[in-house]
Structure 1
Amino acid sequence: MMIVDAIKAANSLVNIVPILGRSQSRKDYEEGVKLVEYLVEHDPDNPLIDMLCHKIDEYENSAPEFRVFNARLNQCDDAIAVLRTLMDQYQLNTTDFKEELGSRSYVSRILNGERNLTLEHIKKLSVRFNLPVSIFIK
């Protein structure tokens, strides 16, 4: 009996949230992202979050509109990718990292791959953004 009920519930859920099924539409992807954002904010233990994130990840890895971005991301050093993401999310520029990384020109050289983030840089960034050090290390 539970099997039949679970299958019915899953089918109903896919009808309501199509990205959980086989949908590859941009609209369903965007609605899935909105639902994840809502759930993370209002119901962070909801099991739908993991399911949605998995499907969103699949979409972002296969959708043509992400192909160039994904190729560029794959070429980036993970630490630099994290730093760029933080800069984008917090609307920061190269002058905002004097305490953690040094001068604007040094930050630019890090972002351009001419210099590497040191362990000391990574520790300071981890403290500033309350992130684990491991997020910056492959």
Structure 2
Amino acid sequence: MMVMILIEHLTKMQVNGNFIPGEKVREQIFGGFCTCGGIMFQKLWFNVDGDSILVSECEKCWRNEAMVFNRDELISRDEVRVVDRRDFKDVILQILTEKEYDAIQAKISNRKYNSSILSNAKKKLNKVGLSIEEVGSYI
């Protein structure tokens, strides 16, 4: 089972510690049935290590689920934690220190910041597949 956290605004999902970009599904396409009995619609597709991950959302209970495929074979179905603006800081603070987070906030607000702390934040974010610009656009 993979740990998956979806940052919807960024169209990125954290899979086992790394953030990967996804592709939005523009049309309402059937994505399976939810455990509540509702219909799920395809929301996003991701590619990870040769596998495809489909994230679908239930039209009834709004639950998000990931189906992992290896070519045409379904490997697993896992619930996805969707992170909104309120919870985003908690996710980022698992990667950055409070000072690094504050440096990003200061930079996007055109306030003074410590450039070496911001540089450390940039390195840490790049390592997991995020950029300061992406994080800054969401905080």
Shared fold per TM-score greater than 0.5: no
More strand by share: 2
Q: RCO higher in 1 or 2 (8 Å CA, sep ≥ 6)?
A: 2
With normalisation by structure 2, the TM-score equals 0.32
With normalisation by structure 1, the TM-score equals 0.32
Larger Rg: 1
